Structure formats: structure tokens, C-alpha cells
Amino acid sequence: MVSNSIIQRMTRDRILLLAIAASYLLAGFAEPFSDRPNEMFSGFAVIHSFVILVLVFFWCKADAAARQIPLPVGAAFLAALIPPVGVPIYFFRAQPWRNALLLTVYALAFQVFLYLLFWIGNTITDRIRA
């Protein structure tokens, strides 16, 4: 069980990153039950895309607040709409280029981790259903 003090110390941006990770794991579990499993526009994929859009939008705002920097105009919207492009643009508009480059590498690693979580959830569900 996670200690309440750990949760209380977590910043909003980190909580949103955990929510994004949890959404990928849950989407992996749910996808095999979709009307069109493993297709780009299945019902669950569309719902998950909307959830990601909302979570990334609020993460961008929370990240800027946690770093105590002004949020670049339109950065949260662009990051939510097209995360693979918008998140690095947000970093490069809000941070010095070296920090932005490092944060972009971290974001890429996080995205790979998210795909791994989705795959794990999907594989577990497929094995249970088999």
C-alpha cells in the first residue's frame, strides 16, 4: 500500500503523469473487448485518445506551474492535440535548449514506457481470454 505521505508530497504534474500511465495500462486491458480490437479507431481507442488529450492539456499547465514558469501561449493546446510534436515544442518554448532537449529525451522514454504498459495490459487480457 502506498503511504499517504508519498501521495501528499506528489505535485499535480506528477499525479497527472501517473494518470496518463494508468490510462495506457487500462486501455491495454480494455482494447481486446473493443468492437474492433487493435484498430486505430476502435471505440476504446477514441475514448482513450480523448482522455489523453485532457490529461496532457492539464499536465502541461501543471508542469508550468510546478516549474514556476509562464505557460507559452497555445502550448498546452498543441501538446494535448498532438503530444509527440506539442510536448517537445512546449519544452523548447519554456526552457533553455539544453534542458528542453533533455526533457524531450525523457518524454520519449516515457512514451516508450506507455506503449509497454499498453502492451502488458493487452497481453494479460489476451492470455486470460484464451
Asked if 32 and 21 touch (Cβ cutoff 8 Å), the reply is no
Return the pLDDT at 8: 67
pLDDT of residue 113: 98
Q: Which of 89, 69, 70, 71 is nearest to 79 (CA)?
A: 89
Instruction: Show pLDDT as tens, one digit a residue, over the chain (130 residues).
Output: 556 666 667 899 999 999 999 999 999 998 888 777 767 777 788 899 999 999 999 999 999 999 999 999 999 999 999 999 999 999 999 999 999 999 999 999 999 999 999 999 999 998 887 6
DSSP 10: S
pLDDT at position 6, please?
Answer: 63
Cell numbers of 73, please?
Answer: 501561449
Q: Give the type of residue at 101.
A: L
**77 grid coordinates:** 493546446
In a domain, residue 5? The reply is no
* Cell 526533457 found at: 103
End-to-end CA distance of the chain: 31
Residue 3 in domain? no
79 is in which domain, residue-wise?
10-129
Which pLDDT score is estimated for 34? 76
Would 91 be classed as within a structural domain?
A: yes
* The amino acid at 35: D
Q: Is residue 33 part of a domain?
A: yes
Domain count, the chain: 1
* pLDDT score for 130: 67
Residue where the block lists cell 516549474: 67
Residue carrying the nine cell digits 532537449: 101
| C-alpha–C-alpha distance, residues 58 and 38, integer Å | 27
